[in-house]
Amino acid sequence: MYQMEIRENEAGQRLDKFLHKFMPLAPTSFFYKMMRKKNITLNGKKAEGREKLNIGDKVTFFLADETLKGFQKEERGEDEYEKAYHKLKGISIVYEDEHVIVMNKPAGILSQKAQQEDLSLNEWLIGYLLYSEKINKEQLSTFKPSICNRLDRNTIGLVIGAKSLIGSQQINELISSRKIHKYYRMFVKGQVLKEETLEGYLIKDERFNRVQLVKNRSEGGGSYIKTRFYPIKQFQDRTLVEAELITGKPHQIRIHMASTGHPLLGDYKYGDRRWNDQYKQQYRVSSQLLYACRLETPKMEAPLSSFGDRVIEAPIPTIFAELMKDS
């Protein structure tokens, strides 16, 4: 016999959905058969699977250990999370409460895995929570903390993570409804003199990890994008620009700025190679200088009220501070 007591991160969902998360390799028919035979019970009683779980409910499995393990995914070892936590350097925590965490990601670190063997900010987050004893390994079987927004590998700045199920649900809803405002800063080529709002459609070429910008969906479909940007300070051959992502798609800012004739400094994919090479030689700039500098959140109800109505800022990256001093 094995018994689980429902915690906050498991409450609020149907029993059958909970069982799917706990034993993801089992067919749906298995769960209903076991519930009919009372081999799986809820609070000591026969269950149908449609019941909504509450904190403190007890789900009991009258199943052999081999059966339970056979229907569970082979869990990645805790050492992978621990490895990410100790190996990925330069990540800092800018904000944290019971449900939400905001991390400052350096360039060169993936937000999420691209390959199975990768270590990313996602693994680092779980490693941090395990290492600081804010979660335990058993809790990972039914809910895994995860990031809610992604940055490109070489983009610096703020990434939001959810520590709880309610945190994940509410933050993802706010991001989808564009109620969390995300701002980025970058150096671009030339003189940007006025605020502008850009729109268009992105078509992605998966083979080369590139995007193409078209003005109308009729030109090839694609995903709608919208970016607002305005100059902060002009220098001799570049401008410090701040942009607000109205939508959020991979490479959106990079392709939008390139389309105006003001590509990002260090962007070898969409930018000016000769100009980039000058800065690479002088300042060792090897990737796009883009950082997610600020988040602005709306007022929120409990239990996420602490995260609501906030302005969260990332520290200025060293290379940005250096280029701000040099005209």
**Environment class of 92 (CB within 10 Å of its CB; exposed 0-12, middle 13-18, buried 19+):** exposed
Q: Looking at the domain that runs over 181-296, which CATH code has it been given?
A: 3.30.2350.10
CA distances 108 to 56, 114, 121, Å, are 43, 13, 11
Domain 78-176 sits in CATH at 3.30.2350.10
Number of Cβ within 10 Å of residue 9's Cβ equals 22
Same fold flag, 78-176 and 181-296: yes
The architecture of the domain spanning 2-70 is: Roll (3.10)
> Which residues touch 327 (CB under 8 Å, ≥6 apart)?
235, 236
Q: What is the pLDDT of residue 243?
A: 97
Domain residues of the chain, as ranges?
2-70, 78-176, 181-296
* pLDDT above 70: residue 272: yes
pLDDT score of 73 more than 70:
yes
- Contact (Cβ atoms closer than 8 angstroms) between residue 47 and residue 41: yes
Task: pLDDT band for 76, please (50, 70, 90 cuts).
Answer: low
Nearest-10 Cα torsion for 315, 309, 230, 147: 60
Residue 315: pLDDT band (50, 70, 90) is very high
Task: Report d(CA 189, CA 187) in Å as an integer.
Answer: 7
Cα 262 to Cα 95, 150, 191, 280: the distances in Å are 33, 24, 8, 18
pLDDT for the residue numbered 12: 87
Cα–Cα nearest to 94, from 257, 297, 263: 297
Residue 7 has pLDDT above 90, yes or no: no
**β-strand 181-189 against 196-205: which pairing, if any?**
unpaired
pLDDT at 66 over 80: yes
CA distance 324 to 5: 55
Residue range 166-210, pLDDT digits in tens:
999 999 999 999 999 999 999 999 999 999 999 999 998 888 889
Q: How would you label 262-271 residue by residue, b for 16+ Cβ within 10 Å and e otherwise?
A: bbbbbbebbb
